[in-house]
Structure 1
Amino acid sequence: MIKITGFEHISIGAKDTEPSASVLGLFGIKPLYGEDIHPHGVTTTYYEHEDNENTRVRFEIIRPVSEDAPLRKFLEKRGPGIHHICMQVEDLEDAMQQIKGAGGELVEPVFDDSRGRHVFVHPSFTGGFLLGLIELHPGQKP
């Protein structure tokens, strides 16, 4: 069994980030940081709300920055909206092996960002949704 250590984020794909960011702001969900994810041709901004009881909600808004970004095709076909959900796993390599062993397909390459190592599980294996997995870098807050 794949060990899940937490829920990471819900990702929203958009050509224009402002409408989604404005709605998140109504709930006190504020931008944390942004970065470019070169293997996928996108720029991303993470948003988070955490209350005094440590209830954390994290969103990511991604926007294509290259012409051949897979996200661009997603937006042309489906329009803006939820792109993927992402779960934190204890051991990304183990999770990948278990998924492949069960006949699943991964959307590679594995890539790094400031929070950890990521990979996507193809929607053909999940019943129609894109699932992201992340193994957090040491010291990252779950």
Structure 2
Amino acid sequence: MRLHHVGIAVEDLEAAKARYLLLGCRVVAEGEVPAQGVRVALLGGEGEALLELLAPLGPETPVGRFLAKRGPGLHHLAFAVEDVARELSRFKEQGAKLIDELPRPGFGGHKVAFLHPSFGLGVLWELVEV
């Protein structure tokens, strides 16, 4: 597995993009994932791990609740895998608490699944099929 992206919860996507673009990265993709209630901006450079800025579509979405409880900041680490379903089974066998028992559609059409932060030592983990 390799680091695919770092998810960062933000209140204002445009303001966050402007700040992170100061690092010299570029916008790779933008869009919404209505099923997860977020607007997304994916930032990065060639061959590097990406930054995924996440702004909630409303206060009752997962990212909206996260922001209300913790404020802006690190939301999750995402790891690239070849087969999300296989990795979910492997993690479950190792005692991981899963948020998703099965892969679901994520940003950019990738299959994704989340592992509970208790397994990630306080950090939400996302598996991204690439």
TM-score, shorter chain, exceeding 0.5: yes
Gaps of 5+ in 2: none
Distance of 1:17 and 1:96 partners within structure 2: 31
For 1:91 and 1:111, the matched residues in 2 are separated by 12
**1:73 corresponding residue in structure 2:** 65
> For residues 40-119 of structure 1, what are the structure 2 equivalents within 5 Å?
40-50=36-46, 54=47, 56-108=48-100, 110-112=103-105, 113-119=107-113
Structure 1 stretches of 4+ with a deviation exceeding 6 A read none
Work out which of the residue numbers 4, 9, 12 in structure 1 matches 2:8: 12
What is the percentage of aligned positions where both structures have the same residue? 28
Q: CA RMSD in A?
A: 1.6
Give the TM-score taking structure 1 as reference length.
0.81
Task: Give 1:71 deviation, angstroms.
Answer: 0.9
Q: Any conservation in 2 of the 1:39–1:111 contact (CA below 8 Å)?
A: no
Measured after TM superposition, the shift of residue 95 of structure 1 is 0.6
Q: Which amino acid aligns with 1:105?
A: K
Aligned residues: 128
| 1:139 matched residue in structure 2 | none
Comparing 58-67 and 100-109, the one that deviates more: 100-109
Structure 1: gaps (5+ residues):
137-142
1:8–1:58 contact (8 Å) kept in structure 2: yes
Whose strand proportion is higher, 1 or 2? 1
